[in-house]
Amino acid sequence: NNAGTLAAAVGLAANSWGQGERPDPLNRHKHGLVGTSISRIDGPLKVQGKATFAAEFLMEGLTYASLVFSTIAKGRIATLDASAAEAAPGVVLVMTYKDAPLMKPMPLFMTAEKAAGGDNLPIMQDDQIHWNGQPIALILAETQEQADYASSLIHATFEAEPSVTDFEDAKRQGTKTGEFGGGPLKLDIGDAEAALNQAAVSIDAEYSTPRHSHNAIEPHAATVVWDGDSLVVHDASQAVVHTAWSLSSVFGIDEGQVHVTSPYVGGGFGSKTLWQHQVLGAAASKLSGRPVRITLSREGVYRMVGGRSQTEQRVALGADQDGHLKAIIHTGVVAMSRQNALPEPFILATRGAYAAESFKLHVEVAQLDMLANTFMRAPGEAVGTFGLECAMDELADKLGIDPVELRILNEPDKHPTEGKPFSSRNIVEAWRTGAQRFGWAKRSAKPAAIRDGDWLIGMGCATGTYPYYRMPGGAARITLTREGHARVEIAAHEMGMGTATAHVQVTADRLGLTADQVTFSYGDSKMPGAVLAGGSQQTASIGAAIVAAQHALVTQLLILAGNSSPLAGLKPEEVGGLNGGLAELANPGRHESYASILGRAGRDEVAVQQDAPPPLELQNWSMHSYGAMFCEARVNAITGETRISRFLGSFDCGRILNAKTAASQFRGGIIMGLGLALMEETQFDSRNGRIMNPSLADYHVPAHMDVPEIDVIWNDIPDPHTPMGAHGIGEIGITGTAAAVANAVFNATGKRVRELPLTLDKLM
Ligand code: MOS
């Protein structure tokens, strides 16, 4: 691509990426804003309290909602006495199944293109109870305090039916194969059990991970109002278009009659989709004729918003004497409810991790009567890499091979179970650079060999990985003014990860503008596109749409430029953005400013809207982000207390668009991984299905004292087959991290803990 190379040499952004298989000329564009450390443009508003979150929209006549939850797992509401609540001060409405409006169940996430529902149960339509914590009454009052007080006056009794709330009971009742992404979570290549039996060296172990609850800093909330038959929802959302469509289905109105906005979100991690609270808020607003603010308490999030399923995993690896893998077995059981679509797919990373001759990868599902579980940062990979990467460490120890070298030894040259070529896989380089920087050579191969007073010190490592996705549905509108300001509109999301900032950079480079000449507007279901902030794919999805819209913009501008322009006669493919205008890629001296083009055409602005091309790149290539994770742990020999003293993530994630926001994404993922490793655990009473620790006092996440200096580096090698050369980076940080911790603890102590969280009792 000569034009691309030349354009890159002069810092010019070409506009020709469009079909999935075509390389993006921006890949070689090393100048401009992409890759630089621009601080979050939403940052100043947030620290000044000027960013309006879902629970901060003010409205005339606003009412406040409080919820009452069931205390049994299965059965029916026998009596429900709301008289005291109705008589309490400030109460506007008490809504129960007896008077809630007729509503259809939510379309269950992943079962239709724009489905966003966390479950597909009836919502307050009958007396049936499906999980312990299901909302049974909603109180609206003039203040939040009045609503909360009135909710304490609701008296309900229940008739319980036999329920399954114990994982062992559920397994005894029979499991079925999990399904994910339209296919069974079951993959067999060769006879892995036979290969394992014949292997010169093998390990075969059971690993387990507990339930996890979502704890985004901003609890779920929505401010809801009806305008006639049209519904407006100011939500905390990572799926505004999906939520609007799903709510229209629930209330039997047109998609265009629901308007969902979500300008700021205090973290999503997979949880900020559609749950029953938005539906109940809209129903109560309909009944009362008043706007409703519904904010879940922290306990409310635990009761109503699903989390990550528990898993029990068997990992068995067979290798020859030299460490080459012959068999990879990764099987096990996860817990799931009947009303959800996500069996924690813990085998996903194992499918592409290492070269081997035989594979046996199965996820079985045991069904419980409980809250639907859902997506949580790297669903599958976060906990699946714990099993796989601990097993690799155990195998390395048994073989007497360095764990980094064992991984490099088993590096595949194509995707080991799909056979596709890798679009861009430079994990070996990430391992080498990371090992060097971390000082891996100082690790003792013998466990429990290094001691500092009462503290045993060890190092561990693990591979992190997360797929590159790009979902269909991307679209963008660009409006360019004669003054040379571009506004991009796309129904995307800023949950704190730096989306708006990164795409200002991408757009500015594409159009040849400065960052302050670009506005990125998002978080509104009326904007173009149906883009999900999930699967670490939003950036690729937006980027592809921006590239396509810029192409349409250039086409329009060349028409407007006409025959008296210095650009006359050039095709859109031959032109890119430079210095506030368009220039010929091969001859950037041939240039006309946007002001000149629009001025001569007598136009104040030009607007284009374009869909992103379909994600064809995924058909041709195996595409993933990778990380080499290194941990140093200190374990107190007397108390068993584990302290992480150092952590390094060395990433191979394509081109990095913004060094600062990327580093924060990597660190945030790693911190969540430290919580997964050491403390996070939803305590679930197996007698009655009640979550027992629904608060941040009882459910532990890492606090500042738990988080060491985290070093993150990346090789910044662009993928030639993705928009901007980028891969996703939102989820990979949590993958591999728990295994790196557990492997470091083993190296420190000689104790192998295979059950998370790795609390001190397990080390005594
Ligand atoms: Mo993520 S769990 O795809 O928001």
pLDDT, block means (10 residues), the chain with 764 residues = 36 41 45 88 94 97 98 98 98 98 96 96 98 98 98 98 98 96 94 98 98 98 98 98 98 98 97 98 98 98 97 98 98 95 96 97 98 97 98 98 98 97 97 98 98 98 98 96 97 96 95 96 98 96 94 96 96 92 93 98 98 93 98 97 98 96 98 98 98 98 96 94 93 98 98 98 94
Write out the DSSP string of 500-543: HHHHHHHHHHHHT--GGGEEEE-SBTTSS----S-TT-HHHHHH
Distance 378 CA to ligand 1 centre (A): 6
**Measured distance CA(229)–CA(118) in Å, rounded:** 25
> Ligand 1 pocket by C-beta < 6 Å: which residues?
238, 268-270, 375-377, 379, 534-535
C-alpha distance from residue 130 to each of 72, 121, 161, 220 (Å): 8, 8, 10, 21
Helices 659-678 & 737-749 angle (0-180, nearest 10): 50
Say whether both 557 and 590 belong to one domain: yes
**Measured distance CA(479)–CA(189) in Å, rounded:** 52
Q: Are 421 and 719 in contact (CB under 8 A)?
A: no
CA distance 184 to 714: 34
- Protein residue with its CA nearest to atom 4 in ligand 1: 270
In a domain, 38, yes or no: no
pLDDT of residue 23: 43
Please give the tally of structural domains in the chain.
3
Which of 566, 599, 614 is the last residue in one of the domains?
614
Domain that holds residue 277: 54-162+217-267+272-304
Best residue among 243, 375, 469, 732 to mutate for probing ligand 1, ranked by most atoms within 8 Å of CB: 375
Report the pLDDT value the prediction gives residue 684, as an integer from 0 to 100: 97
Task: Identify which of 265, 274, 340, 377 to mutate to test ligand 1's pocket (most ligand atoms within 8 A of the CB).
Answer: 377
Nearest-atom number in ligand 1 for the CA of 730 is: 1
Task: Indicate the SS3 state at residue 104.
Answer: coil
- Cβ-in-10-Å burial (0-12, 13-18, 19+) of 257 comes to middle
In the three-class reduction of DSSP (H, G, I as helix; E, B as strand; rest coil), residue 380 is classed as: coil
Would you say residue 364 lies in a domain?
no
Residue 321 in domain: no
Residue whose structure tokens are 């008289």: 83
Burial class (CB in 10 A: 0-12, 13-18, 19+), 112: middle
SS3 string, 479-491, reads EEECCCCEEEECC
pLDDT at res. 248 = 98
Q: Is residue 196 part of a domain?
A: no
* Residue 204 located in a structural domain: no
Q: Enter the ipTM.
A: 0.97
Examine the domain organization and report whether 231 and 250 are in the same domain: yes
Catalytic residue among 193, 255, 731, 755: 731
CATH of the domain at 502: 3.30.365.10
Give which of 428, 447, 468 is closest to 650, Cα–Cα.
428
372 and 337 in contact (C-beta within 8 Å)? yes
The one-character DSSP state at 121 is S
524 & 557 share domain: yes
532 CA → ligand 1 middle, Å = 9
156: domain CATH number is 3.90.1170.50
Report yes or no on 125 lying in a domain: yes
- Residues 434 and 479 both lie in one domain: no
731 is catalytic: yes
Alpha helices in 323-380 (DSSP H): 350-353
Residue 180 within any structural domain of the chain: no
pLDDT of residue 31: 55
Looking at the structure, do residues 639 and 739 belong to the same domain, yes or no?
yes
CA 533 to ligand 1: nearest atom: 4
Residues 283 and 384 in one domain: no
Say if strands 642-652 and 486-489 run parallel, antiparallel, or are unpaired. Answer: unpaired
Residues 588 and 648 in one domain: no
Indicate which atom in ligand 1 lies nearest the CA of residue 271.
Answer: 4
User: What's the gap in Å between 461 CA and the centre of ligand 1?
Assistant: 24
Residue 386 lies in a domain: yes
Probe residue for ligand 1, chosen from 265, 269, 275, 735 as the CB with the greatest number of ligand atoms within 8 Å:
269
647 and 583 both lie in a single domain: no
- pTM, 2 dp: 0.95
Q: Same structural domain for residues 607 and 636?
A: no
> How many Å lie between the centroid of ligand 1 and the Cα of residue 180?
14
pLDDT at 182: 85
pLDDT confidence of residue 50: 95
Q: Are residues 92 and 235 in the same domain?
A: yes
Residues 514 and 649 in one domain: no
Considering the domain architecture, whether residues 83 and 140 belong to the same structural domain is answered as: yes
- Sole residue written with tokens 């190379």: 5
Cβ distance 620 to 420 under 8 Å?
yes
Half-sphere exposure of 65 (CA within 13 A, CB side): 34
Ligand 1 atom closest to the Cα of residue 377 is 2
Q: Which of 737, 716, 646, 733 is nearest to 439 (CA)?
A: 646
